[in-house]
Structure 1
Amino acid sequence: MGSSLNGSTGSVAVVEAESWWRKCFLLLWASAAAIKLLVASQLPLFVDEAFYWQEGQRLAPAYSDLPGLTAWLTRLGVELGGQHVLALRLPFLAIAAIIPWFVVRMSARWFGEVAGWQAGVLCLLMPLSGTLGLLAVPDVPMALAAVLCLHAVARLLRQVNAFNAVELAFGLALGALSHYRFLGVIGMGLMALLLLPQGRRLLRDSRVWMALSVGVVAWLPLLAWNADNHDAGLRFQLLDRHPWRFHLEGLFFLLIQPLMVTPLLCGLLWLVAWRGGREPGWSAPMRYFALAGGVSTAMIFTLGFFTDIERISFHWPLPGYLALLVAAPALLAGWSPRWRRLLWATMAMGLVAAMGYYAMAGSPGLRQSLADNKFYPRNFIGWEPLAVAVRDELAQMPEGSRLLAGSFKIGAELGFQLGDPDIAVLPHALNDRHGRTAQLALWGLIGDGRSEVPQLLVVNPADQRFRDLLARYHQLCEWFGPLPGPTTVSIDHGRQRFLLFRLPALSAPQPGPCVTPAIAWVDTPLPRQVVGDRLEVTGWAFKDGVGLRSVEVLLDGQPLQLADYGRALDVRAVWPASNDPQHPHVGFAAQLDLSAVPAGTHWLGLRLHGNDGSSEDWAQQRIELRR
């Protein structure tokens, strides 16, 4: 009787735990969906999203940078909801909302109902998966493809039937249409199967090979595109973007993972990867989750020492983490209550921080506070004010004037803002580094800017390194001749700065010496320097072709004092190509009296007046005034 009573009490406890975790999951899932809808509606379009939108306006089986699915989904979003960032992201938000349910289902089937709801909560709280869908990027459908394949393979390890094989085929096809990186997911999944005796038997089944054949067929559009375009996409994804030599920056990739996943969960997932494949009492499907996730993350961590370090890649291990999440509750149950509570708390804080970053990017006031910080979200910012300025400039130009973008980023973002996917783009190293040159050339949107009608050229000086800026300006002179004085669009204290040039109709470059926008540097004070009532501002500035008439010091965007410009300061050792006629007299200095200025944070800037009548505001820097 005592045994029966204990068993009954244990069953009640399990039912209560299941009910409690189910409520937690449902509440968190609904809250996360609502918050993501709100944030996604306010978050400006990321540059890659804008290019996927541009691709979606020209539906094709595949593109230079990706298979077709991401572009198709962006097109579906704007067709259903109109030309708005939330509409474009809605298909991705919907897909992201499905993924935690698959994690719940897999974990519940193999580890119990309580573990299933716990795995779902882990998936919702982990920053990498919890923020999934906020951006219209290929990682979203690729993550769904990964969990579909995981679900199908786990079921096939238990029973091979037509339904499970069809699910695997669908997942493989979805992944093939999502990203080149899904090849790695397939490879890691096959390696995990080969590590299991049951997996090796499964790979001898003809129904599994039929599913794999469907997955192979789904790659044909991408292979056909590459065959027709000299393997441009394959070369970029597999060769051009990766150095394929050892570099210690891979350590940064490893160190950032605990931040993206949260430290305790990261440790738990690595523990699952280490122990799960040989955990006593675990069935083949249970071990498969651990092996697939472990092999995947281990290989990606290893490749991090040999692959691309310029573009964001911290999200690459996500498919492996999703596999490990399925098995994570089984090992979490062995932790003490204190460590479990600490894990849930740190995950909640991590998700709030990740969501907060995206919310900050969508809030002009919060965003300005990071204007001089390395975490400033530059690739999200400035496109709406730029579009307003472009409309105003075009309204003042002859009818029929066309828009010309300095890089694919500007062309795609302005295209979305203006509803025009046909904005021409100049050649730029950015187009090459992001694998977009071949696609732009196929659309006939890339060239040297020659035009029979006037053009409005839009460039962003930050699209190249500062030391390469003058060379880029001189390249513009080669195409257009002397550049007219630009209109400056400055956002967030100049952290995002665009230059707009009204160009006449051109069949050949205009004659004359190369006239460029101004280039400047403030030597003192240093950024974020604490200053007093008396402040000396020194630096240098030049403007190729015509020189500068004066340099004006600004405080918080308002003119404060005219600097003493024309001091002897030779910068030609750093800028040997400069043709400013006033070299070496390009230094400036100003003695500022800040006694009437309130203490606190202020922004110091420059206004550069050219001898050609131009006027440009340079980027500002933060100073702290204390008394």
Structure 2
Amino acid sequence: MPKSWLLFLIGFILLRLVFWVAVFPNPDEAYYWLWGRHPALSYYDHPPLNAWIQGSFTALLGRSTFVLRLPNLFSNAALFCTYYRIVSYLYDQNTWRYFLLTLMLILASPLYFLFLSLAWHDHWLITFSLISMYGFVTFLDGYVDRQAQTWRLYGAAIALGCAILCKYNAVFVAFGFIATLIVDRRVRSLWRDHRLYLAGAIVSLAGVPIVVWNVSNQFQSFQYYVDRSVQPDDVGLKIGPFLAFAIVSFFVVSPFYWKAFYRSLKSPSPLMRENSLYPVVAFWVFAVSSVLLTMLSLISAALYYWNITAYLMLFPLLPPLFTKSRTFLAAQTYGLLFAALLIIHYGLLPLSALISRDADPDSRMLYGWNEVATVVRMQAATLGGTPLLITTDYRSASALAYQLNTTNVLAISDRVDQFDFWSAPDHSLTGKNAVIVSDNWFPVVPKLLAQFDRVSEPETVSIKRFGVWIKNYYVQRGYRFKGSNSSTVSKK
């Protein structure tokens, strides 16, 4: 391994370790951790697999930032083992060198550095999707050579089912597989093979807990995604969302990769396995997902990370193009700088706070929960007993619940979220006192305050780092919750 490669690799590993153990959970990480404390067949925002895993780890090892992100270690290990198998399958020579190049290209992509680090659903989605892609390709290659190993197809189906249990956008992988079977004449006869339909049935089994949960909850999860994605508030082309999707995707995947992606798909390296359908499947998984999301961005909104499975098969195609390339060192430098800034932004100081007092409220939400929890404990002690803990958004409710290691937090807001499916009816809360936490992003509304006999003046908790103001939280006491004729705690 060249010395420069080793230095970059050590840099990425150290930054990942710092993020793992030192950075307070992103509010969505805390949100999904809380899901694990409420076992269910599925959840409002996403399918259940990540929550099941989080709940198991917490039950066995307790609550800590180390344990929260420990599943990422296992998913990353499985991911890179699969990449090694892919590289070994594609190339007869330079296997270790090409694998290291693949590994480092992935680590240097800001998209994958971030989403393989966060304890969201995506790291499992990425891993299971790649395992499915590998199994599907090896089955197809065997099918063309009349040496198909059926277990590979069924294994791919099981992995794809697990990916769907992580996030719904795993269906884009399935669409890529279907497109391959339609377009490539070498495998069209599979449509007459019962094994393909049995594999489809295996994938469909993953949807059973999701469907059962939705049937039990008025299909609210499905409705949420329909409303969010294909029923925009105003009709017409959305040039802004389209440009945001395209430009952000260009930079977060890495601007140094796109030309190589194009070259590797147009003219696969002669060093690759001869006649393999790998480049074909890679193209269709990338193309179908990217085209559909681009079209969606023109009529509604599409987030760059919804396309995260599209690029997975492209990375093993790149090593022959980067073996002796200065572009590789430029890409590594870009990725390492981005990763370092990300750690600073998430762990030391939100860089947006240096530019504006209002920009990037999401990142500011990472800071100050130890200080807020201290004030909440003090105000709760003055109320006596076990008061309600109420915040004005699911993010703040999740972060506070994680900091206090409790499930006794309510999020009362106009937005429907998973808290609404856990909340008790108003009558069971009548007469209880509460500690209420709000901020300027989601201020406490008069309608909520009116549901108490009286409320105290808010105590301001000002959060600063290195003398830079980040945000204010407001903590106040509410006495004797009165409830209302319509549920304020549950909006189902």
Q: TM-score over 0.5 for the alignment?
A: yes
The reply to whether residue 346 of structure 1 matches residue 331 of structure 2 is yes
**Mapped partners of 2:373, 2:230: distance in 1:** 34
Among 70, 80, 96, which residue is 1:100 paired with?
Answer: 80
Range moving further from structure 2, 148-157 or 367-376: 367-376
**Mapped partners of 1:461, 1:375: distance in 2:** 13
The reply to whether residue 321 of structure 1 matches residue 311 of structure 2 is yes
Q: What pairs with 1:278-317 in structure 2 (closer than 5 Å)?
A: 282-308=275-301, 313-317=303-307
Q: Which residue of the partner structure matches residue 424 of structure 1?
A: 410
Q: Which residue of the partner structure matches residue 453 of structure 1?
A: 432
Q: Which residue of the partner structure matches residue 381 of structure 2?
A: 395
How far off is 1:35 after superposition?
Answer: 3.2
Normalized per residue, the structure richer in helix is 2
Among 239, 252, 255, which residue is 2:244 paired with?
Answer: 252
Q: Which residue of the partner structure matches residue 259 of structure 2?
A: 267
Q: Deviations over 1:406-446 (max 9, x none)?
A: 222222211111111131232x13x33xxx1xx32332257
Tell me, which stretches of 5 or more residues in structure 2 are unaligned? 143-147, 485-492
Amino acid at match of 2:45: D
How far off is 1:42 after superposition?
Answer: 1.2
**Mapped partners of 1:228, 1:101: distance in 2:** 39
* 1:176 and 1:183 in contact (8 A); partners too: yes
**Mapped partners of 1:83, 1:351: distance in 2:** 30
**Mapped partners of 1:222, 1:42: distance in 2:** 34
The reply to whether residue 379 of structure 1 matches residue 365 of structure 2 is yes
Q: Deviations over 1:482-521 (max 9, x none)?
A: 6431111111355322111111113369xxxxxxxxxxxx
Q: Which residue of the partner structure matches residue 7 of structure 1?
A: none
How far off is 1:235 after superposition?
Answer: 0.7
Amino acid at match of 1:119: T
**Mapped partners of 2:388, 2:223: distance in 1:** 33
**CA RMSD in angstroms, aligned pairs only:** 3.1
Q: Which residue of the partner structure matches residue 415 of structure 1?
A: 401
* 1:454 and 1:504 in contact (8 A); partners too: yes
TM-score after normalising by structure 1: 0.68
How far off is 1:224 after superposition?
Answer: 0.9
**Mapped partners of 1:305, 1:318: distance in 2:** 19
Among 452, 455, 458, which residue is 1:486 paired with?
Answer: 458
Give the 3-state SS of the residue equivalent to 2:318 in structure 1: helix
Q: What pairs with 1:408-557 in structure 2 (closer than 5 Å)?
A: 408-426=394-412, 428-429=413-414, 431-432=415-416, 436=417, 439-445=418-424, 451-463=430-442, 473-480=445-452, 483-492=455-464, 495-507=470-482
Larger RCO, structure (CA 8 Å, separation 6 or more):
2
Q: What pairs with 1:185-204 in structure 2 (closer than 5 Å)?
A: 185-204=173-192
Among 123, 133, 138, which residue is 1:155 paired with?
Answer: 138
TM-score after normalising by structure 2: 0.85
Q: Deviations over 1:547-589 (max 9, x none)?
A: xxxxxxxxxxxxxxxxxxxxxxxxxxxxxxxxxxxxxxxxxxx
**Mapped partners of 2:425, 2:92: distance in 1:** 56
Query: Alignment identity in percent?
Result: 20
Q: Which residue of the partner structure matches residue 345 of structure 2?
A: 360
The reply to whether residue 214 of structure 1 matches residue 197 of structure 2 is no
How far off is 1:323 after superposition?
Answer: 1.3
* 1:196 and 1:284 in contact (8 A); partners too: no
**Mapped partners of 1:27, 1:79: distance in 2:** 38
Among 5, 18, 22, which residue is 1:42 paired with?
Answer: 22
Q: Which residue of the partner structure matches residue 145 of structure 2?
A: none
Q: Which residue of the partner structure matches residue 488 of structure 2?
A: none
May I ask how many residue pairs the two structures share in their alignment? 467
* 2:176 and 2:288 in contact (8 A); partners too: yes
Amino acid at match of 1:229: N
C-alpha distance 458-241 of structure 1, shift in aligned 2 (>3 A):
farther
How far off is 1:73 after superposition?
Answer: 1.9
**Mapped partners of 2:454, 2:24: distance in 1:** 34
**Mapped partners of 2:462, 2:53: distance in 1:** 33
Amino acid at match of 1:133: L
* 1:401 and 1:453 in contact (8 A); partners too: yes
* 1:104 and 1:326 in contact (8 A); partners too: no
Q: Which residue of the partner structure matches residue 573 of structure 1?
A: none
**Mapped partners of 2:141, 2:86: distance in 1:** 13
* 2:84 and 2:99 in contact (8 A); partners too: yes
Amino acid at match of 2:372: L
How far off is 1:371 after superposition?
Answer: 6.4
* 1:193 and 1:288 in contact (8 A); partners too: no
**Mapped partners of 2:428, 2:27: distance in 1:** 22
**Mapped partners of 1:419, 1:136: distance in 2:** 17
Q: Deviations over 1:189-247 (max 9, x none)?
A: 21133221223233433223322211101111001111111110001122245544531
Q: Deviations over 1:22-68 (max 9, x none)?
A: x9888866764453122121111111111111110111221111111
* 1:247 and 1:305 in contact (8 A); partners too: yes
Among 31, 42, 49, which residue is 1:51 paired with?
Answer: 31
Give the 3-state SS of the residue equivalent to 1:491 in structure 2: strand
How far off is 1:399 after superposition?
Answer: 2.8
Give the 3-state SS of the residue equivalent to 2:168 in structure 1: coil
* 1:81 and 1:88 in contact (8 A); partners too: no
Q: Which residue of the partner structure matches residue 604 of structure 1?
A: none
Q: What pairs with 1:17-166 in structure 2 (closer than 5 Å)?
A: 20=1, 32-114=12-94, 115-159=98-142, 160-166=148-154
* 1:172 and 1:214 in contact (8 A); partners too: no
Amino acid at match of 2:447: Q
**Mapped partners of 1:239, 1:447: distance in 2:** 28
Q: State the structure with more CA Rg.
A: 1
